[in-house]
Structure 1
């Protein structure tokens, strides 16, 4: 299957560079009182991605050698001709370079996406979601499982990068693949000694739903231990870092009722080791999970189940290629070192593991069902 690139006008990948990134750059420039040289660096990066060639990081960048290792011969070529997965990931690393995130000075370590992340936690929508937990707590266990798993799934639709150019959110329409029963079966079979690794995606509303699901796994005995993997640095607009976990936890504990109780349990679980927070440079790599480094593979291998959240993790899991949508999910994920579950709303061209009737139904809608975020899937490989 062909690797997805961005050189076809009006394709989804092309639109990310031509439509989404100019808006994103302007938002970053407006979010902070950056000096003129940062504005110039951001403008130059945008111009380079649209009409220039891919430049290397400065030789004194702390991760220069790492990105030299991750290069696959794309430096010096067109951004639009490089694999979309590789080029988009490198774009976010170059954003950090442009704003001085790693450089000594006043902007070192300041999350350029922080204002948007923090604003989302103060919305009425988040308030309503936290209040709704009181109702969920009164449901039978099977209904709690369904509600909280789907909250974590559809929370992925809160991705701030997706919303930059998406239409206003409408009602969710379709779960196009649902292996949730198999997910719970794997955990129940291992109980009371199940260990879950959760590779997070976005901060804000999605991370809030993820943490509530983690609390449910621990309090019901579906898992004895949860390892949460987050990004080591700001990435893809709203991806979760360790600082975002703390911000969301504080938001949960400040809510009334059931939410506050869950927040305090989560805080205690992080303290006593029932939840472990981890990160690794590879989570910001431009490569698929077939290139998992040995230390990360070794750390994850004992997991009863790894839950991968979001669109980017899905692309990295199965490969960012033009797979026929009927390609079996289990075939493409057989290499992964643990049983794996993907929870993902569809926001890019890649989709596999769908049945022919489902594809026929989706194609009949005459919408870009692969990229609108109106469809979602739960896929499991035991």
Structure 2
């Protein structure tokens, strides 16, 4: 096994990582403060004066943190009573001991600092009296889903036709369709509000057309290997570790339905975040809101799938799960030691589908691996079950590339590692 390279804290010296901390994160915090200000009328109507006081609490906490960030103050312990507070505070001490100084915004690892910011935002919510379930990013996520309405409807109508053909016993090319839905899920990941600092970033083009036009931009395509694994191991449970709400989670639901209808899977477990995370990540409320949005659409496809998917949630062929580990700063190679219960649960799966950039960064421990390092090596032993990562590149790390591939793609696009235009479908099976 290759030696573990230096942690990506060294990336703070390059322009992309420095810009992320210095520019993008303050913008996200500013937008939080703005959304809180604009919500005060509605919150007062629904929660009275205490609701308004809670908004002031959130705004004050966010403003304080933004000042700490801009001046690179030391990171401070959390003061709320969430179930994960001790885990975060213990890790703060662990990092300080390892680095021999208190961690701060511009000196500690990018992954830690970025995740810490979102946990601090949640701390502000936890300190509220009546708004403890408030999602500071809800308005942005709902707009992203609403603006993607046409693309979602195209996908649902297409899926409805396929489901009807399968259930009528008509012959279909299951392998081809499996690859198609996996690629739709892959490119749905382009719609990431944390990358755009919360600015509009919805899906407005036909997702099925994208499968063909964007195929040349997939740098690693292990779909044949994933397909062979599914077929050889027989139907079983598939787990989807969700990323973004809005259009992307709609593509995940469609993939899950195809897997079950085509009998490639017997059940699907979805893994959501416990609270607002990286602006657009899926929480249980976002998952439910997606289904509620379907109720507002008057079409045969939405009526069909709303009834079908509610039934799946009731009979257990679909399950929505939440675990605190997903909203911690830890890389996934530490899951077995830090959250053995989650690791054991994932080991029951036939295939783990990790969505998006942050999941990929955590799979690679956010380390500065040489790009030609085998993907499985960069997992550092993580592998409770066979896994595949569907990821549009939005951070400057990637493994599994061929010699010379970096130079070739860089000649076409100088920002290829960070602009979300290129992607990987990377598979690993240590079993």
User: Does TM, scored on the shorter chain, surpass 0.5?
Assistant: yes
1:167 Cα deviation (Å)? 10
User: Higher RCO, 1 or 2 (CA under 8 Å, sep at least 6)?
Assistant: 1
Give yes or no for the alignment of 1:228 onto 2:283.
no
Q: What is the 5 A alignment of 1:236-275?
A: 236-255=278-297, 256-275=299-318
Say which of 85, 109, 124 aligns to 1:64.
85
1:259 Cα deviation (Å)? 4.4
Partner residue in 2 for 1:214: 256
CA distance in 1, matches of 2:74, 2:319: 41
CA distance in 2, matches of 1:377, 1:325: 12
Q: TM-score, normalised by structure 2?
A: 0.82
Give the RMSD, CA atoms, in angstroms: 2.4
Partner residue in 1 for 2:323: 280
User: Are residues 90 and 105 of structure 1, via their aligned partners in 2, closer, same or farther at CA, if it must alter by over 3 Å?
Assistant: same
Asked if the contact 2:57–2:127 (Cα under 8 Å) also holds between the matched residues in 1, the reply is: no
Partner residue in 2 for 1:76: 102
User: Are residues 254 and 190 of structure 1, via their aligned partners in 2, closer, same or farther at CA, if it must alter by over 3 Å?
Assistant: farther
Q: Which runs of 5+ in 2 are unaligned?
A: 41-51, 163-171, 206-212
Say which of 383, 406, 414 aligns to 1:359.
406
CA distance in 1, matches of 2:284, 2:81: 26
Deviations along 1:231-262, whole A, 9 cap, x unmatched? 11111111101111111122245442334423
CA distance in 1, matches of 2:384, 2:91: 21
Q: Which runs of 5+ in 1 are unaligned?
A: none
Partner residue in 2 for 1:149: 182
Runs of 4+, deviation exceeding 4 Å: 34-37, 59-62, 165-173
Q: Secondary structure at the match of 1:341?
A: strand
Bigger mean CA offset, 61-70 vs 134-143: 134-143
Deviations along 1:191-240, whole A, 9 cap, x unmatched? 33x11111111111111100110011111100001111111111111110
Compare the two structures and name the one with the higher helix fraction.
2
Q: TM-score, normalised by structure 1?
A: 0.91
1:379 Cα deviation (Å)? 0.7
Q: What is the 5 A alignment of 1:143-182?
A: 143-164=176-197, 172=214, 174-182=217-225
Asked if the contact 2:364–2:378 (Cα under 8 Å) also holds between the matched residues in 1, the reply is: yes
User: Are residues 358 and 263 of structure 1, via their aligned partners in 2, closer, same or farther at CA, if it must alter by over 3 Å?
Assistant: farther
Asked if the contact 1:326–1:355 (Cα under 8 Å) also holds between the matched residues in 2, the reply is: yes
Q: Larger radius of gyration, structure 1 or 2? A: 2
Deviations along 1:24-80, whole A, 9 cap, x unmatched? 122111212364443332122012123211111127565331212333324833211
Q: Secondary structure at the match of 2:126?
A: coil
Partner residue in 2 for 1:338: 385
User: Are residues 50 and 146 of structure 1, via their aligned partners in 2, closer, same or farther at CA, if it must alter by over 3 Å?
Assistant: same
Q: Secondary structure at the match of 1:77?
A: coil
Asked if the contact 1:50–1:80 (Cα under 8 Å) also holds between the matched residues in 2, the reply is: no
Partner residue in 1 for 2:361: 315
Say which of 9, 12, 20 aligns to 2:24.
20
Bigger mean CA offset, 152-161 vs 354-363: 354-363
Deviations along 1:276-333, whole A, 9 cap, x unmatched? 1111110101010111111111111121111111111111112111111110002223
1:140 Cα deviation (Å)? 4.1
